[in-house]
Amino acid sequence: MKILQEPVISSVISYFNTSTEQLLKELKSNATFYLFDNDFMSLLRKLSDSDLECIISSFDESNIILVPDVVLQESYGNDWMTPDRYKSKYQKFFETLSNHKLLFIISLDTLFEIMINDCGDETQAMNLMKKLSIEATRGHKTISDSIKKLSLPNRMTLPILQSALDFSSSNGGERFLTLANLVLINSYFGPGYIFSNDNQVYADRNIHAGNDKLRNRLDLSEEEFRDVYKTFSYVKVLTHTIQSQCFTKGQALDFLTRCRHYDRNRKIKAVIYDDWFHDLLSDEKLVDLTLERKININF
């Protein structure tokens, strides 16, 4: 995996596992997994150790966190980032995560190995990878159309698919998260939770849920698909934590005051008292609705 040779992130590599064999072993033991994107990690790493640990402990359905190589690339993508700066921003964060969860770096090669394990044949695996890539990029028509034209007979053409998926452009990390979730669900793993604040992630889930061709391929009804393909925005993570920890109103408000600083001006997609809501919410109002369980946050 090329990213393992990147000197900028050398301080955190030891916290990750890159073995597909080990990942499959863990998934067969517990099929649920969490996928992190870069913006979400940026929000988490700014938290205190105690608040971060509180959030991590609230998500106990899986011990597995998957971070795509393209997402890690985004985390150090600025020209001013140096090994020392990266270490100061991310080492403690990944160390804390690794103390509670199993961290895996995954790449397109990882997904292909999972497909081979599922199909038992390299040609079939590549054919299915192409089909899922087309469906995963339905919200990006230019990319989807370019993949349709590709001839991908074997493993040697995987870099061609990687190039067509254009992970280095806008929403590239989110496209990988979508594809990874679909590949793993196709292999009968899940639910898969994508932790992201990117609206494209939410839009893609809705596109895929209404895609009969994709759901037929996965042998899932729309309801079943939504049950195994989950998206969690940062504010949804915070409210989930409040409920999981059984906070009092005072504790919940203090928690949001500390943790929501960089997310307070983001409009929330939710159902409140059975009515659709898409607007800003103050910490006080969000706490009241959360503790009363009168809000269902979509994103």
Each residue's pLDDT tens digit, 6-39:
999 999 999 999 999 999 999 999 999 999 999 9
Per-residue pLDDT at 152: 85
Residues 264 and 246 in one domain: yes
Q: Is the pTM of this model over 0.85?
A: yes
How far is residue 70's CA from residue 135's CA, in Å, rounded to a whole number?
20
Contacts of 89 (CB under 8 A, 6+ apart): 45
Q: Are 23 and 117 in contact (CB under 8 A)?
A: no
| Nearest in space to 271 (alpha carbons), one of 236, 226, 231, 228 | 236
Domain count, the chain: 2
- The pLDDT value recorded for residue 99 is 96
Q: In the structure, what pLDDT confidence band is assigned to residue 178 with cuts at 50, 70 and 90? A: very high
191, 210, 232 - which closes a domain? 232
> Domain check: are 155 and 270 in the same one?
no
Q: Do residues 98 and 182 share a domain?
A: yes
Q: What pLDDT is recorded for position 206? A: 94
Q: Is residue 248 domain-shared with residue 191, that is, in the same domain?
A: no
Instruction: Examine the domain organization and report whether 226 and 238 are in the same domain.
Output: no
Residue ranges making up the domain that contains 260 = 234-297
Q: Of 213, 232, 251, which marks where a domain is finished?
A: 232
pLDDT at 171 over 90: no
- Asked whether the bond before 159 is cis by omega within 30 degrees of 0, the reply is no
Q: What is the mean pLDDT of residues 230-249?
A: 96
Of 201, 232, 263, the domain-final residue: 232
Q: Are residues 46 and 133 in the same domain?
A: yes
Residues 148, 288 within the same domain: no
Question: Residue 40's pLDDT is what?
Answer: 95
Question: Which residues, including other chains, have CB under 8 Å from residue 177's CB and lie 6 or more apart?
Answer: 35, 37, 68, 71, 194, 196, 201
Same domain, 224 and 281: no
Q: State whether 281 and 179 are in the same domain.
A: no
Identify whether residues 169 and 189 lie together within a single domain: yes
Tell me: do 196 and 256 sit in the same domain: no
* Together in a domain, 189 and 45: yes
